[in-house]
Amino acid sequence: MCGRFSVYIDDVELKNRFPNHDVAPFQGVKVTNFAPTMEMPVIIENQVVNMRWGLIPAWSQNKSFANKLINARGETLLTKPSFKNLVDTQRCVVPSNGFYEWDTASKLPYFVQTADGSLMNFCGLHTLWMDENRRPVNTFTIITTKSNQIMSEIHHRMPVILELGSEYKWLNRANNFAAVQNLIKPIDDSSISITPIDKVS
């Protein structure tokens, strides 16, 4: 599960990680508690596009899907109508500096970030939806997987975090889903740190 995350990204690091993208849309985007239906820049194969969090399938008659589809289970992408037609060509990367998770037992919040504090890139899917006035709305969802061992102590799911260097493999539309499916897995325990926090503000 990933229901809140932080978009407080170092611009220089982002440019170094994505040197072929115009990352200017990220300038000034500093949100420590990014929530569903909010909008942020998202990285696709050859550009950066502002999108709303909460995928609305192109065939949907209204935007009610948005709050239901903030996450997509990696194990069932090929069987769900909302996702199965997106996995080959509509993949994206959602940059972050960490996400929040609530302990399923204690309900206390934790902040999960990379062990060295560097950029954290989530696997995502995106699509274009036309609203009732025929205006285009770009939306995205974050793919989740089972938790690694350290994360499983507070929750059984976690977002798919791409390992350094695998971002372009995921983004490259020349790769069909079969070629990138192995990226959908829990990140190594040693790659993340989990810190209890008083509140998410």
Check: CB of residue 148 under 8 Å from CB of residue 163: no
Q: Which of 92, 101, 123, 167 is catalytic?
A: 101
Q: Which of 2, 92, 123, 167 is catalytic?
A: 2
DSSP character at residue 36: T
Question: How far does Cα 99 stand from its chain's mean position?
Answer: 10
How buried is residue 6: exposed, middle or buried, by Cβ count under 10 Å (0-12/13-18/19+)? buried
CB atoms within 10 A of CB 150: 18
Check: CB of residue 160 under 8 Å from CB of residue 184: yes
Phi-psi region of 170 (alpha: psi -120 to 50; beta: other; left: phi over 0): alpha
Task: Quickly count helices (H) and strands (E) in the chain.
Answer: 3, 12
Q: State yes or no: is 13 an active-site residue.
A: no
Q: State yes or no: is 123 an active-site residue.
A: no
**Active-site residue numbers?**
2, 101
